[in-house]
Structure 1
Amino acid sequence: MSSGEKVSRRKYIVAAGAAVAAAVIGGAAYYLARPPPPAPPERPWERIEWNEPPMKERLTGLEVGSIPDHWIERFPTLKTYGGWEGIGAIDGYELPEGWEKAVEGVDKLRFLNYGGLPHDPATQMAMCKFEDLTGIKVEAREMEELTLWLKTVAIMTAKSDAIDFLHIGGAELMTHTVMSGWAVPVDFLWPPEVQELYSPLAKSLLYFNGHWWGSGMVSTKPFCLFWRIS
């Protein structure tokens, strides 16, 4: 190989290196000069001022009274709820500010309910009260526990719009739901003053991976834990 060939090859390498450098610098300059990407669209729940009025006051200011006739007309089993007197915590709750904007265009919400509604007066009353406050119809499909979970997995895996929110009871199912990417954090439901209302055990089931994943529950009757020895 002659010295002339060596010089030409060096020139070629230098020229190629300069071209690569120019391309990299040019690409970087373009990246820096282009406008920033648009902000992601505002999600519906981000339009709500969840702590206005204060959430603690809204959760603890419930009032007991006679169950309205139109609730009983929809769910006749409510007539005998509350010691045969048809009473329950039916009033006193206020919706947070901004809820009207968040639900624009929504006329119906659907979910899968664990168990039959005749045996679930709390859910019946919650559905009726939500409809009274918002005008949005709530539909529940009643299922036993195993079927509900299998149906939930099928719907979420298929990315179906058959339901609008999840009804998850077991802690292990909540973990599976979150780790599968099917849940949205609900940190906005848990300001410090609301956290004070619940026991450490209840909170431990809803908080992991640095986020809150479910809402608290107010029970109007005791729930008893039991174990099978078989």
Structure 2
Amino acid sequence: MDRVDQMLLLMQQQQQMMVTNMQQQQQMMATMMGAMAQNMGVPQPTPPGLTAPANNVSNLFERFQRYRPPTFAGTHRPEEAEYWLNRVTKLLRPLHCTEAESVELLSYLFEKEADLWWESVLRSIPEGHVWTWEEFEAHFNGKYLPQKYQHERENEFLRLQQGEMSVAQYENRFTELSRYIFEIIANEAIKMRRFTAGLRSGIRSKIYCVNIRTYAKLVEMSIRADRMRSGSPETVYS
């Protein structure tokens, strides 16, 4: 090897060493910046080719579990399915999660037959689909709350009368059944007329004497009229 070749080889070795040193320095700098960012609470980017864990849903599920939500294995009794869905829906409210997160959290509660059913639903949905609560309810109700059951609840709502119930008890049942008649509960004026029509005549006659513009006020005045009828000193006109 002549002198020129030796010089060229030496230059190549020096250049390679410089590149290696620069790479090491860059790696050290990245490590230091990552440590500083972690200490400051700054979220780190996900390296290419990796998928970031679903920390938000994981944290939500841990919080959800603190409420001890009941699992659901499926049932042939619509009232049981309805009770379960109402109960877990109430437990979701303090979490303030999105509709898609709510659906995912509830899916973890399915067991046995219900879990098999849900897996079949997921297979029929395009991958990456973002669920809405309305879609989930439609699938759940279609499976566990048959049309016959829903029609029976609709008819019960339309025929509902206060009878021997207190106004508070009547209003609770009215609210429970009203979700089956969306057209009525979506229109406050119609909802108020239906509620008034089911009141006992003695209470209804007093309510007609008052100018009431909201459903909440209607319920309040009806309860006062009911108490006045039972001997309470309160007056419906106050």
Q: Considering fraction of residues, name the structure with more helix.
A: 2
| TM-score where L is the length of structure 1 | 0.30
| Structure number with larger C-alpha Rg | 2
| TM-score where L is the length of structure 2 | 0.29
- Greater relative contact order structure (CA < 8 Å, 6+ sep): 1
